[in-house]
Amino acid sequence: MEETSYLGGKNNIIDILRKVPFLNPHEEGHLMAILELSKLRKYEKGEIITKEGDYDTWFYIILSGEVSVLKQGKVIARIDSHDGTFGELSVIDGEPRSATVCAATNITCLAVDASFRDRLTPEERLPFDAVYFRLLTEILAHRLRQTTREFSETGRELDALKKSLI
C-alpha cells in the first residue's frame, strides 16, 4: 500500500471528489472537512485492504479500480467507483469488520479516518457530525436501494425457476 499524509488544504483533490456521484452535491466546505480526515491510499491487485474480524476506524471511497468483498473466504460482492464505498458499517457501530475487502484491480481510495471525531471539542463536533453523518446516511441509503433491487430481482428469478419446474 502507498499512502499520502492527511489531505487538509489540498484543494486540487476537490475536483476528483466531485466525480464521485454521492459526493458531487456537497458544498466545497463540506468536502474540505472530509479531506481533513482523509488520505489517498493505493493498493495493488490482490492486496488486503480490510480483514474480516479486525477493528479499525477507516472507511473508504473508491476513486478508481475495484475491490472484492469476501465473507469467510468466499467472494460475495464486487465494488467499483460507481458503487463507491466500503467499511462504513464498522465506523458507525464500532463492531469488527464483517468481511474482508481486497483489491480486485489496482485501486486508489480516499481513506477517511473516523477516529478524528474523538479528538474534536463538543463545539467542533456538532457541525462536523452534521456533515459526516449525512455522508454516511447517503452511502447507506444508496447501498440499501441497491440491495433492495437485487433482492427483488432474485425473487423474480426464483419465481420463474419455480414455475419452470412445475
Say which residues have a Cβ less than 8 Å from residue 87's Cβ, sequence separation at least 6: 50, 58, 59, 60, 97, 101
Enclosing H/E stretch for 41: strand 38-43
Q: For residues 40 and 115, what is the distance between their CA atoms, to the nearest angstrom?
A: 17
**DSSP 3-state assignment of 71?**
strand
Give the pLDDT band of residue 98 (cuts 50, 70, 90).
very high
Write out pLDDT tens, residues 123-150: 877 877 777 777 778 878 887 888 899 8
Q: For residues 132 and 41, what is the distance between their CA atoms, to the nearest angstrom?
A: 20
Give the pLDDT band of residue 83 (cuts 50, 70, 90).
low
The DSSP code for 51 is -
Q: What are phi and psi of 33, to 5 degrees?
A: -65, -40
Q: Is the pTM of this model over 0.75?
A: yes
Supply the mean pLDDT for the chain. 86
